[in-house]
Amino acid sequence: MKKIAILSALIVLGFSSYGQEHVDRDGATVYTQTCLMCHGPLGDKGLAGAKNLIISTMSDSSTTAIVRDGKGAMMAYGTMLSEVELENIVVYIKTLRTKEEEESH
């Protein structure tokens, strides 16, 4: 009985990790894996002239366009992110903005 339980647990785990390969990453994950090296954990690292995301006042549509198409030293991520991941990252980097910035909107 115990063996069967362990076996079915392994099967379930196997299936769920297989499924995860196709799941869209959330904004924080995309940020850590793709953006953090230049923009830093808080958004203000500024490597290679990266814009400070804390003080950014860019609209969602402009932010989406920059991430998708790139600008200056920042490459285009359009082909590396799914539509959902692109939306997630735009929402996520807005959370890096300061409280005052959010309240003034």
Q: Which stretches of the chain bind ligand HEC, using CB under 6 A? A: 34-35, 37-39, 47-51, 53, 56, 58, 63, 66-67, 71-74, 77, 89, 93
DSSP state, 23? S
| Residue 104 CB, nearest approach to ligand HEC (Å) | 15
**Of 103, 90, 105, 101, which Cα lies nearest the Cα of 35?**
90
Query: What are the backbone angles phi and psi of residue 25, rounded to the nearest 5°?
Result: -75, 150
Place of tokens 């939306």: 87
| Residue 84 CB, nearest approach to ligand HEC (Å) | 14
Tokens of 51: 């814009």
Nearer to ligand HEC, 12 or 37 (CB): 37
| Residue 102 CB, nearest approach to ligand HEC (Å) | 15
Nearer to ligand HEC, 7 or 48 (CB): 48
**CB count in 10 Å sphere of residue 98:** 11
Nearer to ligand HEC, 9 or 58 (CB): 58
